[in-house]
Structure 1
Amino acid sequence: MVQSINTKVDLVIDATSHIRASDYGQIMIGDKGFEFFNKRDKRKFIQIPWEEVDSVIASVLFKGKWIPRYAIKTKRNGTYTFSSKDPKKVLRAMREYIDPNDMVRSLGFFDVIKRGFKRKFQK
C-alpha cells in the first residue's frame, strides 16, 4: 500500500493519467501535494509536492466551456497530463496551493500553426 503525502485532503475525484497508456484511477488534492493512484495496480502512482510544481497548463476549448485535459509541469521531472470528470473543480482546488499566475492556457491549434509559420519565415 502506498503512503499518501497529504495530511488533509481537499478533493478526491476519478481521473485518467495520460503519461504512458491511459491509466484510470483517482486524483487526490491535499495540503502537501497532488497525487494520482491507479485503480488496478497500486504500484503505479504519481505524487507531486506543491513545491515541485512549476506551472499548470489547461487545454481550454469553446471559450472555457470545456476543459478536456490539463498538465502539471514540474521543475525537474517533466510534464504529467491528466483528465478528470470535473476538471474545473480540480483546477479550483489546485489554485489554493499554486499561484494563479502559474496556471495558464495551452496554445490552440491555430496558434501553434501561426507560431510555426512565423519561425519558418523569420530565418
Structure 2
Amino acid sequence: MLMIIAISYVLSLGIEVLARTAEVFIVILILIGLIGNMLIYLLGNVDFHNLQPILENGWKPILKLAFPVVISFPFGKALVFTMILLFLSTRINEKSLAVGLNYKRTAFKLYSKFENCRS
C-alpha cells in the first residue's frame, strides 16, 4: 500500500519527486537489508565454509567478462538520460550537454576499435 501511494504521488508531481522519494526509500531498504542480514547471521544459519572456493582461477576470468560491460554501461544509458532531461523543470545548457555526449560517443568508438584490434 505504501508503494502505491508513493507511485501515485510521483505520477502526479513529476520526476523531481521520484528522486526525492527514492532518497527516502533507499534508506528504508538499506536498513531492512542490514537488519535482515544481521538476524540471519545471529541465528546461526550461516556457514562461511560453504562459500569457498572464492576466486579459484583468480581475477582474470572475472575481469575478462566484466570489463567490456563496465566500460559500455554509462554510454548505453546516455540516450535514456537525455530523454529524461526533457521532463525536468530546470533546463540545462544544451551546448555543454552536446559537447559531453560527443566526448562520450568518441571515447566509446575509440574503445570499440581498440577492443576489436586486440582480439
TM-score bracket for this pair, using the shorter chain length? under 0.3
> If you compute each CA radius of gyration, which structure gives the higher value, 1 or 2?
2
Question: Which structure would you say has the larger RCO, counting Cα contacts within 8 Å and 6 or more residues apart?
Answer: 2
Q: Higher strand proportion, which one?
A: 1
